[in-house]
Structure 1
Amino acid sequence: MTGDTYAHDPSYIQEGSGTRWVFSTGQGIQVHWSADGKAWNLGIQVFASEPAWWAQQVPNHAKLDVWAPDIFYYNGKYYLYYSISSFGSQNSAIGLVTATSITKGDWVDQGMVLKSTTSSSYNAIDPNLFADKNGNLYMSFGSWWNGIYVTAIDKSTMKPTGNSYRIATKSGGIEGSSVVYNSSTGYYYLFVSIGTCCQGVNSTYKIAVGRSTSVTGPYLDKSGVDMKNGGGTVMDSGNGAWKGPGGQDIAGTNIIIRHAYSVAENGAAHMLISDLQWDSSGWPYYS
């Protein structure tokens, strides 16, 4: 890829048959765009100023610092979920902004989706929207503490309804979940980032995966270990050029985007995009 590819926690979508968009962590939600998926340009951030509810619900967050956005297209509209927090804290919230067109950028704040405090079992960051095999909507979320959770999403409000279910834990860190259903294999796949991020070339992030026949688990790795009990098969642990891959997002069932830290640039975070493939046993891989 060429152009501006600096990004952290990227989420990818193609608008119709045209422009590819990537939303990522940064001031007001960072935006990149590309006409061909190869040459990338920095766009205009989603939020020029903060909605009033941010400071009310998460008063200790850094000004306009928005984490791990997730873009989802449903019923003729684009839903962009995101999180605000402060590093290492459970005082967090997931918010939602919508648009009829990413190109137009007619974003409308839809308020808070979910909140956590120091008394919560989970941390309300890293949202990921997905549909089950019947078209019902769900959101996975969570970071460290008691791990990754999943909750049903109401199709009218596009916000959680009912209980949240824990589906993965990992000592030493787990976050950045992405769930996708592959109709060819009949499984739901839970992709997570394990280890620690945000330390440049010293980051220990790795991308791991498990699968389940049910949205709420159990998600088992290749060895049959439940991800709720620390399981997870590592797909990518980095290489000599790229350290700490993670913050991944799955587009459809055939594209994976993630960030990694460039050794050549002393730990600068770049987005990397690959074709996601599936082996004969129904497990994902990429090169």
Structure 2
Amino acid sequence: MKKLKKWLLTAALATSVSVFGLSSPGFAAFWNLTGDIGVHDPSIIKEGNSWYTFSTGQGIQVLKSDNGTNWYRVPQIFLSPPSWWSTYVPNQTHNDVWAPDIHEYNGRVWLYYSISTFGSNQSAIGLASASSVGAGQWRDDGLVLRTTTSNNYNAIDPNLVIDANGEPWLAFGSYWSGIKLTKLDKNTMKPTGSIHSIAARPSNNGAIEGPSIVYRNGYYYLFASIDTCCQGVNSTYKIVYGRSTSITGPYVDKNGVNMLNGGGTVLDSGNVKWKGPGGQDIYSTNVIVRHAYDADDNGAPKLLINDLNWPNGWPSY
């Protein structure tokens, strides 16, 4: 159980105090971050008193914080591309790694990530693991799954999900026919069994990606990013969600619309300063991280963190 801490909101946001991870309904804290917060597609984990954020970039970029608010950059995971990457994604260059996902499971930390080229579904999801983030000494666990131009889905944006029975699954997907889900073998942490479709946007050019699934009080909640990323202040990214009593779906939004049919209730569409929020990750059901483009800094992508509330069984902040 995480240590409870109090975070004082800045006067511009609120004057109330939020108890970390257990905020009062309607007063979810926006964490006041300092230091190096340049990220895209962040995934977050806590070990002891230290926080780590993994994100898209050269060799998988890593930020560390000793208190959750002040961040600094530490060495990347891959100093050079593993040789097997070029077998599955020949055009992948410059050690550019996308949308990593970090989770602890069965006494080990698992780091899923993707390699691809923009706009292509010749892609691969890889896996590295370690006894702990702090210990380092990452083991290359190789290929998890791949797609080629003959597939109607895309093997990027992985997310490790642990179901109510403690079994591991992997959600993934971007554009094409949407978000997918597959069961993992708990020994290899690689796929076993069929691939399920859980969300799509058939009438919106397939613009859905970046799944993140959490289980809470009898429901699986699927968060995803829709519309267009990676265009700075012109990005139209938004975070949407739906829920299901089964991990394989159907996931429906607050209006009962199936996410396979384009459903999804908007959680965050940005504001005057923070444009195109997305690439979200949920930590322990009560913290949400994502990137957004800073309109006051030429559209630079930066880390945002909020406490996540659940009024009436739906997420809010």
User: Shared fold (TM-score greater than 0.5)?
Assistant: yes
Deviates more, 1:26-35 or 1:102-111: 102-111
Aligned equivalents of 1:271, 1:154: Cα separation in 2: 32
Q: Give the Cα separation in 2 of the matches to 1:32 and 1:92.
A: 25
Name the aligned partner's letter for residue 299 of structure 2. Answer: G
Could you list the structure 1 runs, at least 4 aligned residues long, displaced by more than 2 angstroms after superposition.
Answer: none
Aligned residue in 2 for 1:152: 183
2:210 is the alignment partner of 1:179: no
- Bigger RCO (CA 8 Å, 6+ sep): 2
Aligned partners of 1:124 and 1:203: how far apart in 2? 23
Aligned match for 1:66, one of 97, 105, 125: 97
Q: Does 1:111 align with 2:145?
A: no
Secondary structure, counterpart of 1:52 in structure 2? coil
TM superposition shift of 1:76: 1.4
C-alpha distance after superposition, 1:224-265 (max 9, x if no partner): 000001100001000000000000000011000000000000
Shift of 1:199: 0.3
Identity of aligned residues (%): 61
Provide the C-alpha distance between the structure 2 equivalents of 1:14 and 1:213, rounded to a whole number of angstroms: 28
How far did residue 62 of structure 1 move?
2.3
Q: Residues 165-176 of structure 1: matches in 2 within 5 Å?
A: 165-170=196-201, 171-172=204-205, 173-176=207-210
Distance, in Å, in 2 between the alignment partners of 1:98 and 1:132 is 20
Inter-partner Cα distance in structure 2 for 1:242 and 1:222 = 25
CA distance in structure 1 between the aligned counterparts of 2:104 and 2:132, rounded to whole angstroms: 10
- In structure 2, distance between residues paired with 1:235 and 1:124: 25
2:229 is matched by which residue type in structure 1?
Answer: C
Number of aligned residue pairs: give it: 282
Structure 2: gaps of 5 or more residues: 1-32
298, 301, 307: which one aligns with 1:266: 298
What's 1:22 paired with? 53
Please give the alpha-carbon distance, in whole angstroms, between the structure 1 residues aligned to 2:265 and 2:91.
Answer: 35
SS at match of 2:233: helix
Q: Which residue of 2 aligns with 1:12?
A: 44
| SS of corresponding position for 1:55 | helix
Looking at structure 1, the residues matched to 166 and 107 of structure 2 have their Cα atoms a distance apart, in angstroms, of 15
Provide the C-alpha distance between the structure 2 equivalents of 1:148 and 1:104, rounded to a whole number of angstroms: 33
Q: Which residue does the alignment assign to 2:109?
A: 78
Task: Determine helix, strand or coil for the equivalent of 1:157.
Answer: coil
- Counting only pairs closer than 5 Å after superposition, residues 214-253 of structure 1 correspond to structure 2 as 214-253=246-285
Comparing 96-105 and 17-26, the one that deviates more: 96-105
- Choose the corresponding residue for 2:74, options 28, 39, 43: 43
Q: 2-side partners of 1:62 and 1:168: how far apart? A: 30
Unaligned runs of 5+ in 1: none
Partners of 1:148 and 1:103 in 2: how far apart?
32
Letter in 1 for 2:228: T
State the distance in 2 between where 1:282 and 1:272 align: 23
What do the CA deviations read for 1:154-204 (whole angstroms, capped 9, x no partner)?
A: 001000100000000012410000000002xx1100000000100000000
Map of 1:211 onto structure 2: 243
Bigger Cα Rg: 2
TM-score for both structures, normalised by structure 2: 0.88
CA displacement 1:56-84 (0-9 Å, x = unmatched):
11001122000000001011111000000
Aligned CA-pair RMSD: 0.7
2:223 maps to 191
C-alpha distance in 1, partners of 2:100/2:133?
14
1:174 partner amino acid: I
Superimposed CA distance per residue, residues 124-153 of structure 1 (whole angstroms, 9 cap, x where no aligned partner): 000000111111111100000000000001
TM-score (norm 1): 0.97
Counterparts of 2:192 and 2:151 in 1: how far apart (Å)?
17
